[in-house]
Amino acid sequence: MSKKIIDPNKLGEEIVKVLKTIFDPEIPVDIYELGLIYDVFVNEDNDVKILMTLTTPNCPVAESLPLEVKNKIADIEGVKSSEVEMTFDPPWTRDLMSEEAKLELGFL
């Protein structure tokens, strides 16, 4: 399947939009606003690498959530390849959540 090359900045914006459609099944907030996405890298070849974490290392979706992220990013037009790297350094805390997520979950 041939994918056209698009501007890495626009591709980055599209990636964030897609990340905001993926939800932690235990928390009604998307993984981007939840602060689970630490970084999004897009190189000049439109290879994408996502650095992410989970709320806990024992999270029930530890296997499925990174795979869902990888597959949804790979499906974006213009993405050549996608990779998800998991890290627990630094560990996730509520401080990583956006103001919107904190408000929605009643932490503000």
Percentage, residues of the chain above pLDDT 70: 95
Residue 77 is assigned to a structural domain of this protein: yes
In a domain, 43, yes or no: yes
Mean pLDDT value of segment 73-96? 95
Cα(56)–Cα(87) distance, rounded to whole angstroms? 11
CATH classification at residue 59: 3.30.300.130
Residue 103, in any domain of the structure: no
On whether residue 99 sits in a domain, the answer given is no
Asked if the structure places residue 12 within a domain, the reply is: yes
- For residue 54, the surrounding DSSP H or E stretch is none
pLDDT 10s digits, 96-107 = 999 999 999 998
What are the pLDDT digits (tens) for 21-31? 999 888 889 99
Domain containing 24: what range? 8-92
Could you give the number of structural domains in the chain? 1
